[in-house]
Structure 1
């Protein structure tokens, strides 16, 4: 199975069983991975949404089957290059988008996202592969 990094939006809809059929079809035969950023965002969302312990446990159990790409030194170095280049180009990007792109680029993995416009800078200037555009 070919690996693919799932953006937070894809993971959230998958967990809720609301992912559209066309997107789900593109993921068939792929091994899903998430970044440490997505793991953190999903964990964060449980608090303001007042999730009880049962729902938090269900999410944790569901996520336990998906490997998490860490924010290690190589990813941090890639993030630094991305951040500096985007700022220098006058196109600063949201921090979490840069971390997710840095994970994908460091590990040479495509990204599945419902927000491709958020990733176009990384695709156009750094070669980020976006699932469906490969």
Structure 2
């Protein structure tokens, strides 16, 4: 079975059942998961937006069916490497995007995102595979 990692934007739309049809077709039949970063971002959003018990229960139900790629030493080292390279190229990337890219690269999994511009450097220079289309 194909495995694909969801960027936080795609995970959020998936929770809302609002994925663009073209991306939904690309994800059909794949096992989708998230990174530890997306787990943190989704949890943060729930708290900042004062989600009630039923909405939090919905998030937890969604999360329970998707594996989360963990933080580990290999991911930390890859993050350091790709972050440094991006800075040396004059294109430093946001930290969370760099962590997500590092996870995908370490686990050799493609990333589904609608924010392709945020990850295109990692695709071009590091070999990150991207599934998705810019801001559909």
TM-score range, shorter chain: over 0.9
- Pairwise CA distance, 1:132: 5.0
1:119 aligns with 119
User: Which residue of structure 1 aligns with residue 58 of structure 2?
Assistant: 58
TM-score relative to the length of structure 2 = 0.94
Matched, 1:88 2:88: yes
What residue in structure 1 maps to residue 68 of structure 2?
A: 68
Distance of 2:33 and 2:61 partners within structure 1: 15
* Dislocated runs of 4+, deviation >2 Å: none
* 2:32 aligned residue: 32
Structure 2 unaligned spans of 5+: none
Residue 13 of structure 2 corresponds to: 13
Q: What secondary structure, in the 3-state scheme, does the structure 2 residue paired with 1:17 have?
A: coil
- 1:124 Cα deviation after fit: 0.6
Query: What displacement does 1:59 show?
Result: 0.5
Residue in structure 1 matched with residue 44 of structure 2 by the alignment: 44
SS at match of 1:34: strand
Number of residue pairs matched by the alignment = 133
- Indicate if the aligned counterparts of 2:69 and 2:103 stay in contact, CA closer than 8 A: yes
Q: TM-score, normalised by structure 1?
A: 0.96
Distance of aligned partners of 1:74 and 1:46 in 2 relative to their CA distance in 1, 3 Å threshold = same
Cα offset, 1:125, TM superposition: 0.5
| Cα displacement string for residues 48-78 of structure 1 (whole angstroms, at most 9, x for unaligned residues) | 2110122112201111110000011000000
- The alignment yields a C-alpha RMSD, in angstroms, of 1.1
- Equivalent residue of 1:46, what SS? helix
Question: What SS is found at the alignment partner of 2:93?
Answer: coil
Q: Distance in 1 between matches of 2:72 and 2:8?
A: 19
